[in-house]
Every structure is written in structure tokens, then in C-alpha cells.
Chain A
């Protein structure tokens, strides 16, 4: 480590810098949390919608498919800038965090819809037949039979996505949200050595994502039920 870096350490480790980084980290965490929660709810709803039958819901199914296929193909940064300029154009004075949260939710909904769709599809059709002949409704079949079996297929990729997502929210800095990566850059610009600023950023990202990994593993064990097919 160069001599200058060691000299900087006492100056870097101040309450002010710590608070600055932690605040930024909390924005990163909040953006990811909003994205994950909205994503699993809205994405789950789209995945369920796409399983429905009959003409009445056909237009909605089409929209759901279009949405998923579209937003999985647009880079996150482009979505972010689209939301940013759309709100500007609409004349809404929206907080930057809200813009970031909307963009994050749009993307996560599309990805999680696909993850949940794959989970639902992994449940054997004969489970639907058994439920149908015993007069289960569509929602009862989902709730009592299909979703409990789909969890074990949905969770691993979903948590993989959450963790990837936590890091991707760094792009929100492009519209000015002071999240963790942006905070590192700011401290770097104030003259602190990159190894200190980005070292701290790295540790904070790890501190946030590793518990998420553990939680994912824990849940996988919890929902693991004997599955034959």
C-alpha cells in the first residue's frame, strides 16, 4: 500500500464519511428492496395472469407477455433514462429516488415474472388435473397445490436476481441518485485514495448481499418439500 494511503486512513475514518457511505448504502438497499418486493408481487401477478385460460383475459395476457419480453430486452440504463425523461416531459417534479425506484421496479417485474412463470411451469400438469376434478378453482389450485411446489424452483434464481440487482442499482447514480457507488466516487473526488473509498464500497456491498445469500439458502431449505416429478 502506498505511503499516502496509510496516512489518509485516519482522515477517511470519520463519522461524517461513515454516515455518508451508510446513507448511500441505505439508498442502494431501499432501491433493491422496492424492486424486489414490487417485482415479486407484480411479476408474480403477471406470471399467474399468463396461466389463465379463456378469451376474457386474452388481451391482458398479451399485454403481460409484451411487457415481459420488452423490458427484459431493454438495458437497465435505458429504462432509467426513459423514466427520468418521461417524468421530466410530463412536468412531474419527482424525487430522484422515486425515479430510480420506478425504473428498478419496471425491470424487476419483467425478470421476476419470467422466473415465477418458469416455477409455475415446472409443476406437472397432472397436478392441475387432480385439482380440477376435485372442483378446485384456478386460484385454489395455485394457492394449495401449484405455488407450494413452485417455490423450490423459483427461489434460487430469484435470490440470484436479487443479488445481481443490488449491484445493478449502481446505475441509478446516472440520474443523480446518491447510492453506494456514487458515494464512493464522490469521496474519491474529494481526494481519498480509490483503494479506501472503493474498498469501503466493496465491503458494504458484500455486507448487504451476503446475508441475502444466506437468507435465500435458508428459505430454500424451508420450502424444500418432497417432489416426485
Chain B
């Protein structure tokens, strides 16, 4: 069972502090919705967690074991358990949808091709893409690419799935399909950290809301309470500006 603990995490990018002491615990089955204004450090936190940006200081433990981001072996072990889906999907442009989903399990983890292929076909069907498995990324719409990216992350059988503004780059009419997929994952008990600007989605799907501003967590709580009665001034100002809509 994954139990991710983040304690006093600091990170800097291009000489600027982007995370100024973030502490957060994620238990198995949690769906943590990360919200906050642009540039508040939500996406940065996910990038630090998967080792794309080394932290300056702080402690990350997974099931009680400390992750040392300077050690390649630690980062590799961590990445075997965490998967991330990016805002810009980042599919491998030289591979079809199916190849995108299959490549890491087969070539990196060395699992049997036929077995992975069956799983990949199943995953792509689950995200509604059984008809488009042999299409290349640039032959797919943004929403379709993002669903392939989710299937690709799930093919790694992660214990925790990180979703980095996965609907921000999509046309409004394509957002719904992607959110439906994530809702399904939450219902199935997947542990997730979701960075999103889709407030009504976060309110519906998250078990916990974490609001960040200026590289720190300003408030966290249960969605219903957080959105109805934010405790801090900062959160009140943010929630007050939300225009609610049903997706």
C-alpha cells in the first residue's frame, strides 16, 4: 500500500524558489486535488516528486523509505511506483497509440510482449480508443492523445498516479471524456494527485483538496468544506473568484 509523505520540501528553478517548504501526506486510495493560481507550485511539486526537478531540501518517503533524489537507484525505484501524465500529453511522436502504451512495459520492464499487448488493448478500450490504436499522435485530437497518455501511465501499473493539468491544453468539448476516465480511476480506488483548474471536477472527485500559493500549501481540507467555507484569507479570495459550471 503506498503511503507518500512529503516533508518541508524546497525546490528552486533558475535561481528562483518555486517550492518553499511543502508538507503533505498521501495515503492509499487518496485522491488529492491540488488547486491554486498559476505559478503557485502545483505542477512543480509533481515534477519534483517524479525526479524531473531535484529538490533543494526536504524529505520524501514512500512507505517509510526515504527517497534520495541524488541517487539514480532511488529515483528509478520511485518511478517504478509513480506515474505522471503531463499537461501536453508528451506522447512519443514516432509511435502509434498502442506502441506508446506498450513500449515501457516491454522494452524497459522486459515483460512478455503478448501479455502487455493484451493489457494495452484493454486499457485503450477502457479510455474509449479501441478504434484509434494504430494512429500516430498527430493523427489524434488533443483529448484522444491525453487519454492515450493516461493509458500509457496506467500500463506501468503505478501505485500512485500524478495528473498535471491534464485538461488544460484541451478544447472545452474534449475535456469531459478525459475527466470521465479519471472519475472511473478514482472510483476504482486509484491513489492520485490531481493538479487541475477544473474546480467542479475536483469538488466531485477529490477526497481532499490542497490549495497552494507562492510555493506553499495555504490550506487543505475535505472538498465540501473547503469550497463552502475556506478558512484562510487567501483561500477565500481564490474560491470567491471561481465560476462554477457543470462539466
Binding site for B on A (CB under 8 A): 124, 126-127, 129-136, 140, 144-145, 148-149, 225-229
Contact = CB atoms under 8 A, between A and B. Distances in A.
Contacts of A135: 76, 79-80, 104, 108
A133 B84 contact: yes
Given A133-B83, A135-B80, A226-B136, A140 B108 contact: yes
B84 A225 contact: no
B138 A228 contact: yes
B114 interface: no
A126 B90 contact: yes
14 contacts: A124-B93, A127-B93, A130-B91, A133-B51, A134-B79, A134-B108, A136-B104, A144-B103, A149-B94, A225-B93, A226-B137, A226-B138, A227-B93, A228-B137
B145 to A, nearest CB: 9
B12 to A, nearest CB: 18
B90 A130 contact: yes
- Secondary structure call for the A interface: helix
Given A135-B80, A135-B104, A228-B93, 14 more contacts: A127-B93, A129-B52, A129-B86, A130-B86, A130-B90, A133-B52, A133-B83, A134-B156, A135-B76, A148-B94, A149-B94, A225-B136, A227-B94, A227-B138
Contacts of A228: 93, 137-138
A171 to B, nearest CB: 39
Contacts of B80: 135
B232 interface: no
A131 B86 CA distance: 12
Residue of B76, B83, B94, B107 contacting most chain A CB atoms (<10 Å): B94
Given A134-B156, A135-B76, A129 B93 contact: no
Interface of B: 50-52, 76, 79-80, 83-84, 86, 88, 90-94, 103-104, 107-108, 136-139, 156
Contacts of A133: 50-52, 79, 83-84
B142 to A, nearest CB: 10
- Secondary structure call for the B interface: loop
A229 B136 CA distance: 13
Closest 10 CB pairs of A and B: A226-B136, A134-B104, A228-B138, A148-B94, A130-B90, A126-B90, A226-B138, A149-B94, A133-B50, A135-B79
Contacts of B84: 133
A227 B107 CA distance: 22
Nearest to A123: B93
Contacts of A136: 104, 108
B229 to A, nearest CB: 37
B244 to A, nearest CB: 32
Contact of A130 (B92, B107, B136): B92
Contact of B93 (A134, A140, A229): A229
A126 B90 CA distance: 6
Contacts of A131: 92
A129 to B, nearest CB: 6
Residue of A129, A130, A228 contacting most chain B CB atoms (<10 Å): A130
Nearest to B76: A135
B72 to A, nearest CB: 10
Contacts of A149: 93-94
Residue of B79, B92, B108, B138 contacting most chain A CB atoms (<10 Å): B92
Contacts of B108: 134-136, 140
Contacts of B138: 226-228
A130 B85 CA distance: 9
A61 to B, nearest CB: 20
Nearest to A226: B136
B162 to A, nearest CB: 9
